Amino acid sequence: MATLADIAGSVHATFDGTGGGTLGLDPAEKVCLFIVDGMGADLLAAHPSRAPFLASALSRVLTAGLPSSTPTSLATIGTGVLSGNHGMLGITVAVPGENRLLNCLRWQTDGPPVDPVTWQPVDTVFQRLARFDVASSYVAPAAFDGTGLTEAVYRGVRYVPADTLDERVAGVHAALRASRKAYVTCYYGELDAMGHMTGWGSPEWLDQLSVVDGLAERLAAALPPGGVLYVTADHGMINATDKVDLDRHPELTEGVALVGGEARLRHLYTVPGAAGAVLQTWRSVLGDRARVATREEAIDAGWFGPVDPALLGRVGDVVAVAEGECVIASSRAEPLEWSMTGYHGSVTPAEQNVPFLEIRR
């Protein structure tokens, strides 16, 4: 199955005249990519009546990649490579050799700031398209303008602040018409936020899904003649029914210097010589609730795609991928994450499968 990494190259191919890339996209000079945070393909397919416009166009499904989380997937869409090459290997990832974590979503860390360009050095599709005179724009909430995550994954775009639905439609409409060749990315995060709070499929989540459907229809109507709208997501979601509290299982943190990743995929950075014991403890305690592997096993299994040797230290010495509806978190150190209902990051179809819809004008 094609992945989110295939979007960048395929869109690039629609502009440079080399064909439609892996996804076989037809040529276009006005392209809008609408990214809906948390709108997994399985989730959308389960509620077609709440999103009739999108459901009617659902014909292709992509795989998000691991971890199925926002910073990882946005980097994958922006660069065209999987996490093992762009290095955004989770929400929190170790800064190698410094005994600290970087939160890739909020771009926060203890100690000196981390340069986004150094951390994620792969050229973006927006930078590559500029060589073909394609103007790239990013239409998203003003709060994300200038953040480390934006600089890491959206280098080369003109940022268009847009907080309301009307502002997003207007921003996309104007950006598509501002130059002869335009690639506009529009981001919507409220569906994911509601899913974390109330769970996917809840009445509140369904209301948000209907909002997304209406916005997608408006974006399609805003296309200029010959324009195309692609709709995708960064990941899906599961509702947790089984929570493992690290604070109630102190044996799980014995020999662990840093607990990274997120509740559905944990990177465990161990103290020297402890990796083997940590591996066995996690396997023993969690059983079939998680796949637990050494760094080498995870890389050999292709969990993160090909891994750049320079990024090996960002992968946990031990990696735990939650199965079913299990999450692994600390109720004390991660109270917000612990309190949530909806989660993502792992390998289940509900998290991995994302739609790729095409609407042409």
Q: Is 32 left (phi over 0), alpha (psi -120 to 50) or beta?
A: beta
What is the average pLDDT value for the chain, to the nearest integer? 98
The CATH number of 5-81+122-239+347-360 is: 3.40.720.10
Write the secondary structure of 215-265 as one string of H (helix), E (strand) and C (coil): HHHHHHHCCCCCCEEEEEECCCCEECCEEEEHHHCHHHHCCEEEEEEECCE
Stated pTM of the model: 0.97
Structure tokens belonging to residue 93: 């990832």
The amino acid at residue 311 is L
pLDDT score of 238: 99
Model confidence at 251, pLDDT cuts 50, 70, 90, reads very high
Burial class (CB in 10 A: 0-12, 13-18, 19+), 226: exposed
For residues 237 and 298, give the distance between their C-alpha atoms in angstroms, rounded to a whole number. Answer: 22
Structure tokens belonging to residue 358: 């095409």
pLDDT score of 27: 94
Radius of gyration of the chain from its Cα atoms, rounded to whole angstroms: 20
- Whether 291 and 303 have beta carbons less than 8 Å apart is answered as no
pLDDT, mean of residues 222-248 = 98
Residue labelled with tokens 């979601």: 237
- Altogether, the residues listed in the chain come to a count of 361
CA-to-CA dists, residue 190 to 35, 71, 351, angstroms: 11, 16, 17
pLDDT in tens, 125-155: 999 999 999 999 999 999 999 999 999 999 9
- Whether 312 and 91 have beta carbons less than 8 Å apart is answered as no
Model confidence at 20, pLDDT cuts 50, 70, 90, reads confident
pLDDT score of 148: 99
At 86, phi and psi to the nearest 5? Answer: -90, -15
Residues of the chain with CATH 3.30.1360.180: 242-339
Burial class (CB in 10 A: 0-12, 13-18, 19+), 25: buried
pLDDT at 192 over 80: yes
pLDDT score of 203: 99
Q: Which helix (H) or strand (E) holds 360?
A: strand 353-360
pLDDT, mean of residues 299-305 = 98
Structure tokens belonging to residue 174: 């104007």
Model confidence at 289, pLDDT cuts 50, 70, 90, reads very high
- Whether 282 and 246 have beta carbons less than 8 Å apart is answered as no
Share of the chain above pLDDT 70, in %: 100
pLDDT score of 18: 78
Residue 269: CB atoms within 10 Å: 24
pLDDT in tens, 58-99: 989 999 999 999 999 999 999 999 999 999 999 999 999 999
Q: Which CATH number fits domain 242-339: 3.30.565.10, 3.40.630.10, 2.60.40.420, 3.30.1360.180?
A: 3.30.1360.180
Model confidence at 322, pLDDT cuts 50, 70, 90, reads very high
pLDDT score of 17: 76
pLDDT at 101 over 90: yes
Q: Which of 61, 31, 23 is nearest to 44 (CA)?
A: 61
Residues forming beta bridges with residue 323, ordered by sequence position: none
pLDDT in tens, 151-170: 999 999 999 999 999 999 99
pLDDT, mean of residues 307-326 = 98
pLDDT score of 16: 83
pLDDT score of 91: 98
pLDDT at 19 over 80: no
pLDDT, mean of residues 275-291 = 99
pLDDT, mean of residues 14-25 = 87
What is the DSSP code (8-state) at residue 111?
A: S
- Whether 270 and 255 have beta carbons less than 8 Å apart is answered as yes
Peptide bond into 67 cis (omega under 30): yes
